[in-house]
Structure 1
Amino acid sequence: MQQDDLVAAAEIHKDAFIRQRNSYHWLACNLVAYPRILAYIATHDERCIGYCLWTQKSGFRPEVVLELEQIAVSTEFQGKGVGTQLISESLQDVRSILATHGSALKHVLITTRADNSAQRLYAAVLGAKVEAVINNLYSADEVIMVARDLSHIGQEPRSPGVDNPLQS
């Protein structure tokens, strides 16, 4: 994600996270937190159709616990494999960035509402499993998912109909 992508990504954020406010400011703050936060977009016909944020947890460490802090895909492109591709391809890039800093990926952490159907995506793409439930944390119960074996990431085929999907 680059500064020029913020307006389009903020629109996607606003539609996906209706209880959150100040979408542009939220994403702008995250964008300048590199390398702690790594921000990516998916594009179609040179238009931003989704984004994701990866956050290093608990300092810069040799073995990184990485949080998939946020992912959103434009409603027009949901269910077409964009989220799968965005996660797997951006995670490959994150691994490369970590390696240049002498670090390796240990686990991926995800928190999401207990009723969020995206849990199926996180399980399918990352192998994440629910490890805990926190009652009434934000707007409802929140689950903590952890993906511990990530050796399979990057072996998924590209989704049809999405061109040049990943940009950092």
Structure 2
Amino acid sequence: MKLYFSNIWLLEQFYSLVTSLEYNVRILKAEKNHIPGIALIYKKCFPRESMHREWIASTYASFPRASYFIVEIEGEVVAYILWCFKNGFREQSILELEQIGVAPEFRGKGIAKDLIKKSFELISAEVSRLNLNIKSIIVTTREGNHAEAIYKSALGVERVALIKGYGSGDEVILLKSIETS
């Protein structure tokens, strides 16, 4: 266990060095071998959920409906994001940022915002390869979640609705329509 904490400390130091030198964060399309790392972060970020690995594996298997992207530092997954088609494969599709998780020891370093922006570029390219367009982006989050500001800043989404008593509290719906030419 001591080695694990030592590795976490080293990864934190490495990320601090990388970000302080303004290097780009390496963001990748997730592959099957990343499932355990994604599941570990999912478990840390969403502890009330269960069967973490099974959920991630089944969602991963639904590609191209769902696509995971990760931040990997020194071979370790430190963050992930899940983008999903919301309304089927349509010429004008709705993409949902369904979930994002950053390992607790890497929060507050700008990883989430970098991951949102870069993964949106990557998922946009995937959508284009399917000969589809993105009509809208939707994100839902719990009322009071500080991530709402990150979503607004990174994606330009705006609050359009509030669902009272949804899940663990009230749920905010954020949306951005995208003009296509």
Task: Please report the TM-score for the alignment, with normalisation by the length of structure 1.
Answer: 0.85
3-state SS in 1 of match to 2:108: coil
Matches within 5 A, 1:1-168: 1-149=30-178
**Residue 62 of structure 1 aligns to which amino acid in structure 2?**
E
Instruction: In structure 2, list runs of 5 or more residues that go unmatched.
Output: 1-29
- Measured in 1, the distance between the counterparts of 2:45 and 2:179 equals 26
* Deviation digits for residues 144-164 of structure 1 (CA, Å, limit 9, x no counterpart): 11123589xxxxxxxxxxxxx
CA contact (8 A) 1:113 1:142 kept: yes
- Measured in 2, the distance between the counterparts of 1:15 and 1:39 equals 17
What does residue 21 of structure 2 align with? none
Task: Compare CA radii of gyration and give the structure with the larger one.
Answer: 2
- Measured in 2, the distance between the counterparts of 1:20 and 1:130 equals 26
Moved over 3 A (4+): none
- Measured in 2, the distance between the counterparts of 1:76 and 1:38 equals 24
What does residue 7 of structure 2 align with? none
**Residue 24 of structure 1 aligns to which amino acid in structure 2?**
R
* Deviation digits for residues 126-150 of structure 1 (CA, Å, limit 9, x no counterpart): 1111111111110111111112358
**Residue 25 of structure 1 aligns to which amino acid in structure 2?**
E
Which fold has the larger relative contact order, with Cα–Cα distance below 8 Å and residues 6 or more apart in sequence? Answer: 1
Identity %: 32
Task: Please report the TM-score for the alignment, with normalisation by the length of structure 2.
Answer: 0.80
Number of equivalent positions: 151
3-state SS in 2 of match to 1:135: strand
Say which structure is richer in helix.
2
Instruction: In structure 1, list runs of 5 or more residues that go unmatched.
Output: 152-168
3-state SS in 1 of match to 2:175: strand
